[in-house]
Amino acid sequence: MITKKMIRTIDELQAIQRLATKCEVDVAFHNLDSSIIIDAKSYIGMYALNFKEPILIVCEDVKFHQDISSIGETVIE
């Protein structure tokens, strides 16, 4: 599954990262063209992304996507 989000604050980013660390499967952040892929459980790695653009949050855990639904702004195309 992929959720596209605008993350506007450090608090939003940290909330997603905390949930990612509790997730039993991999969670990744991608930029829009997937040229940058970051392990969402890596606090330092997250700062390689440009948060002025939406990011793609990739995870196969449906509950994780439900848990992050209220964090940041979900972008629907």
Domains of the chain: 2-74 (3.30.1340)
> Which tokens belong to 7?
């993350």
The pLDDT of residue 22 is 96
Closest CA relative to residue 31, chosen from 49, 11, 5, 7: 49
Q: Which residue has the tokens 């196969």?
A: 60
- Residues 33, 48: Cα–Cα separation, whole Å: 14
Residue pLDDT, tens place only, 41-60 = 988 887 788 889 999 999 99
8 Å CB contact between 32 and 54 = yes
Q: What pLDDT shows up at residue 49?
A: 83
Q: What is the pLDDT of residues 9-53, one digit of tens each?
A: 989 999 999 999 999 999 999 999 999 999 999 888 877 888 899
| pLDDT at residue 38, as a whole number | 94
